[in-house]
Amino acid sequence: MKKCAVAGKCGACSYLKTEYAEQLKIKHDYVAGLFPKQNVSEVKGMKDPYHYRHKVYASFYQDRYHHIHAGLYEENSHRHIDSSACLIQHVKANQILKTICETADKMKLSAYHEDSGMGVLRHAYIRVSSFNGDVLLVIVIGSRELPGSKHFVQVLTKAHPEIRTIVLNYNHEKTSMILGRRDKVLFGRGYITDQINGISYRISSRSFYQVNPKQTEVLYQTALQLADLKENETVLDACCGIGTISLAAAKQAKHVTGVEISPEAIRDAKNNARYSNIENVTFYAADITAFLKKNRQHFDTVILDPPRSGMGEAAMRSIAGIAPDKIVYVSCNPVTQAEDLKTLNGKYKIQKIIPVDMFPFTKHVECVVLMSNK
């Protein structure tokens, strides 16, 4: 097993000293405890569980010698820890973070200080495409402008030619949110492309996209295998995001309807459909409960992939109200998943539960549940 210099401090990798096979067993037993009357399949794990995060966030700070560092917050504190050698972050992202800090020192750029509201560099967001290695870099600043931005871009793109686009984000507010409301593209097109199961996606600074591309393919393949879609079936993807599951399902089904509350995500979903020449899919920016009140049509299969907070009782009852034959629920939080599925008791029966390890060395686990209409 590899050793981490900040193990036990940052708090992100609570299982860093646990053998990977044991991690998978722990996660299986955790899911089984949430579904005590069900048979839970073995967790689908990774061959190599290191450096799987292709999406990296880091906060900038300065040490007592005024050198810039990029890192995370220590567990249960507001103290920074340098994360530029993180064992779960993509190697290229770690290298870019180091170059940013070295360049900032040479340019005498300061780190943003939350209490005083002074300084320039606040956060970095890096996305690495698993398909072609292209990199999207977002620099979040707390100042009005980035001094020497042209030189900054030239240095970074020369040192790392795989950086295809750099976006400057302005966040002047006292908030825990990483990104502010306004963006400015400094270099490139403002997005990169990636592929999941042969379908191409454009990823911008605000696109929701899974952090672990290898396991994302496993996760979506698992969900679609359980859905077992037919050519004459209609599908509702109730939390479609940028269309990752919707477009894959559209290759198997008659028609897919994707619903997502975020207009920005729906814009990306429509672009991705055009980009991949997939026409049997329609996307709507709407709350799923409100959408189903207006559209009472029947769907053969409903696919759910909500945020950690889950769907909620109102949404689950709305979905049960249209009586789909099958429900495939994909969740990054099995606790809220189990709570949501309780609202379907009496109407739907759990057929299969398959956990997928998207986040090795952490306590988190993804879970796919297939339910059939009684």
List the catalytic residue out of 4, 101, 239, 332.
Answer: 332
Amino acid in position 373: N
Q: Are 132 and 156 in contact (CB under 8 A)?
A: no
Contact call for residues 326 and 370 (beta carbons, < 8 A): yes
Show contacts of 320-323: CB within 8 Å, 24+ apart.
Answer: 320/344, 320/347, 320/348, 321/292, 321/296, 322/236, 322/292, 322/296, 322/297, 322/298, 323/298, 323/373
Q: Could you write out the DSSP letters of every residue in 103-146?
A: HHHHTTPPBPBTTTTB-SEEEEEEEE-TTT--EEEEEEESSSS-
User: Which residue shows structure tokens 């890096």?
Assistant: 126
**Segments of 142-233 assigned E as strands:** 163-170, 182-187, 191-196, 199-204
Q: Is 310:333 a contact under the CB 8 Å cutoff?
A: yes
| Strands across the sheet containing 348-356 | 281-285, 255-260, 234-237, 301-304, 326-331, 366-373, 348-356
Paired with 348 in beta bridges are: 373
CB–CB of 302/235 below 8 Å? yes
Contact 174, 167 (CB under 8 A): no
Residue 332 among the catalytic residues: yes
114, with CB counted inside 10 A (0-12, 13-18, 19+), is middle
| Residues noted as catalytic | 332
